[in-house]
Structure 1
């Protein structure tokens, strides 16, 4: 059992936890939720031993083994399989002991060492590692490729596989879904449901939390508040509490007003001075119930488009991909990801784009957004098409050394006056006011983008998109750095948007809330997917079973 009793935890001058208490029982699967900056990652630091309580009592069973995802980017020429196998710390210890026993030529020690090696599962360790790697979306051909050959997002998937490979009693996962597509996410949910140890997970994906967890701990006002149930159950219970809290606040406000009125009336009268002072002390002692504030970092809306052509665009025998790299030999052909696309995007459509990583979802969106040119065919655009593009990597549309104000000034200069919303004059003061609605205030408007958090960069991209009044929104994983409440705000804004949406996301709650049709990018093409997200998850399970059966028959 993990016990936290009256723990105070500070980070610099900030009090992250203030005499907080909570208990985790063996085998529980706990979702750790709260606003960005509330202290979730700091609490993880307490659990994994990188931070220590300033006061109070924290205990964790000494014999428990811990698994967690290393945050550093791996740099190694090891194969993906060997790298993940090394995550099995029990196996590594057994291998080390075998080597030591053989070096000293101790027969009895060697016998025990080889028994421990067998118990650690040395015979099937590569197969177990490869099952994890394949489940997280890698292809069979990538199992033997060096870790350094993969991009950052894929290396983080290998770090996740390595953590899952580690035999553990406590598994800590901080935003494990950020680098996953929907296919890998469905697989991870199934794996975690089978996990026998205690799981503590930070995630802003409500469907993931609902599927995996049975306990929710809310980090709120430097406290740890435990709720029995998954995230949806937590929301219901907290909503009931907030109603009661608001009623209590109203009653308390009446009492405070009554006390203050007495103090104001009689504090100057000598005969009533003692009574007035007692009221002052009562007022000071009275427990203040914290105001109920909206949890979202900000709320916003997309302005009504000035015009909506129909169709917005048409793809005619179009192929998407990447040009030959700079410095390639003359005649090197481009890399084609999807080909022969004949589809139109109509006014008012809300399209969710599905498909495994590497199939071409982002390539499709980048090409429509003019970030890539079509390899073949053409894309014809309706007159007045105005695209708002949220790139999966925010820095694809942001300049690291520029500030929010510089981004907005450049945007204003490039936007004709007739395309601006009322009040968007383009002056520095109006731009500062507009940035303020997205929580960029004071000196933040002059802060370099490179120094900002992922959530702040996401806010800036959304701010720029809203200012442009687009009629077509192209959103490629817009929620990666948004907390749960802000994801809800984005979903509401998209539902009220009167233009067209094309959305790539592994956030199923957002896809369900926003999209009414789906395109599937697969096998080098784009086709309509006839079904909803539940049908798609079943499709993924069927595909995984088919691949396993093919592999077994080979």
Structure 2
């Protein structure tokens, strides 16, 4: 277990923890929550050993291995799969041990190293790494692409994959969902649900916290409080505790006023002096309770648009993409005034491409996009934070914006406006490069509000926002009189804002008939259906002739040779996965037979009580193992399918 006993931690002159005491049990899933700047990342550094407590003790089993996401962006030409594999420190040590043994020609050490490799799961390590990459949204064609060929967000996904593959008793995840789309987020939740170790996660995504955590640690004013329950349960319990504390404070204030009134009235009277003095001492002994100072609420609102064209947009066989590459085609949709549309779809299907085309960042490749008269677009792009000028302050950004778009304004008006977004005093001139991610996002929101749009295009606007700011954004969007098109992995925001959904998939855009729960079920059903089809194809007799495609009779000899070589390469690449699937099928058969024997024995009713208990425990263990094996079978099957699709076979 992990124990903090009387821990005080300072960063400079700031106290992050003061006399903190908490116990975390092995296998618990804990959400660490608190306001931005409260010290959550500092607590992670303390647990990881990068910081030392100024006072008290941090107790942790010395044999525990730690896994956490590195925050640096890697610069290497190493392939993505091999880069992820190096995150498995147990495998890495086994590889180094084998290399050293082979260099010294020590047969005994080589045998020991091979045993270490087997224990580390070296035989399927590459398949496991690629399964993580595919789950996090990488395409099969990217599995061996150089790391430095990916953008910053994708490199952070690679760092996350390195963390997940590392077998560790303690995992620390600091905002792991920031660079994920909704599909990858759902996959990550499923993966973490199967993680057997102790998990601590910092996140501002309430649905993510609710799905994976069962304990909440609240860091507030250098105090660490443990709550049993997920984030929603924590909010409820904390609200109740605050009400009780406030009631106790008010009751004490009434008692103090009563004592003080008695003292003031009778301290000069000889007959009452003794009683008055006793009340003075009672006041001095009284432990003063502090009033509950709720965090200052943050709220803002979008200004009323000057006009609302209807329809706002009309697409006629529109095609979107980059240069000569078409990503989405045949778009025939109409966007009306007041609609709230959530845009769903897997990574790489074209959600951001569609939004960029609507925002005029990309040209229409084919067809037509008709804009309503007076259309004014407010666009929050994923990379919007990167285009802020790091050497200028928020006020300079607003001055430049006010000169470019109406309404014009004096500097004091702009200062007052920025104050609504928590940029006050000297902060309006602080360089944007020194601001936090959340502060930069608030500045971008302020700039959007100033433009007074009637159509908001929001592409992952919550990546750097804390929970309070996310709630403020949700309220502002619900009160906004214009139209909203939203791409987000924040399911709470999608649920609260959107009335309908579009699905970007297989090169097209279509309405999705359902809510987010339906979408998640659709994702799961699609994956299962694909896996069943793959399993059926794999179970078919290999000697059975395959029906040639219609173009086969006229296929040139060179084309047939190339296709044959592609099939051979695919067979070699998928061989480890197919071998693993066969092993899982055999193991599932063995477990099924064992379960049948145990259930038959229990049905006789002749077993002793201890034997019945042992059988029950074994049946539970079998059920857990079957669930894990079936999930791994599904992942491996999906990976084979993705590799087959990428090969065009």
**After TM superposition, is the score higher than 0.5?**
yes
Q: Which has the higher helix share?
A: 2
**How far, CA to CA, are the matches of 2:468 and 2:267 in structure 1?**
45
Residue 18 of structure 2: aligned partner: 18
Post-superposition shift, 1:243?
1.8
> Deviations for 1:406-456, whole angstroms, at most 9, x for unmatched residues?
222222233345xxxxxxx71111111111111100111112222211101
Q: Of 450, 453, 474, which aligns to 1:470? A: 453
Q: Are 1:83 and 2:75 counterparts? A: no
TM-score normalised by L of structure 1: 0.91
Post-superposition shift, 1:248?
2.1
Residue ranges of structure 2 left out of the alignment (5+ in a row): 535-636, 645-649
Residue 605 of structure 2: aligned partner: none
The answer to whether the 8 Å contact 1:309/1:383 transfers is: yes
Post-superposition shift, 1:266?
8.6
**How far, CA to CA, are the matches of 1:411 and 1:287 in structure 2?**
50
C-alpha spacing 1:299/1:106, structure 2 compared with 1 (3 Å): same
Trace 1:164-313 onto structure 2 (pairs within 5 A): 164-258=164-258, 279=280, 282=283, 286-294=287-295, 296=297, 298-313=298-313
C-alpha spacing 1:97/1:295, structure 2 compared with 1 (3 Å): farther
Residue 393 of structure 2: aligned partner: 403
Residue 42 of structure 2: aligned partner: 42
Which segment is superposed worse, 19-28 or 522-531?
522-531
> Deviations for 1:208-246, whole angstroms, at most 9, x for unmatched residues?
111111111111111111111111111111121122222
C-alpha spacing 1:163/1:262, structure 2 compared with 1 (3 Å): same
**How far, CA to CA, are the matches of 1:280 and 1:473 in structure 2?**
63
Length, aligned pairs only: 536
Residue 442 of structure 1: aligned partner: 425
Residue 527 of structure 1: aligned partner: 510
The answer to whether the 8 Å contact 1:394/1:457 transfers is: no
Post-superposition shift, 1:396?
5.4
C-alpha spacing 1:309/1:115, structure 2 compared with 1 (3 Å): same
Residue 331 of structure 1: aligned partner: none
**How far, CA to CA, are the matches of 1:172 and 1:548 in structure 2?**
32
The answer to whether the 8 Å contact 1:259/1:283 transfers is: no
Q: Are 1:131 and 2:114 counterparts? A: no
Q: Of 431, 434, 440, which aligns to 1:451? A: 434
- 1:172 match: secondary structure: strand
Residue 388 of structure 1: aligned partner: 378
**How far, CA to CA, are the matches of 2:253 and 2:322 in structure 1?**
63
Which segment is superposed worse, 225-234 or 386-395?
386-395
Post-superposition shift, 1:370?
2.5
TM-score normalised by L of structure 2: 0.78
> Deviations for 1:175-206, whole angstroms, at most 9, x for unmatched residues?
11011011111111011000100011111111
**How far, CA to CA, are the matches of 1:428 and 1:243 in structure 2?**
42
C-alpha spacing 1:307/1:281, structure 2 compared with 1 (3 Å): farther
Residue 338 of structure 1: aligned partner: 328
- 2:192 match: secondary structure: helix
Task: Calculate the aligned-residue CA RMSD, in Å.
Answer: 2.4
**How far, CA to CA, are the matches of 2:301 and 2:522 in structure 1?**
35
Runs of 4+ more than 4 Å apart: 256-281, 546-549, 551-554
Trace 1:98-137 onto structure 2 (pairs within 5 A): 98-137=98-137
- 1:73 match: secondary structure: coil
Residue 499 of structure 2: aligned partner: 516
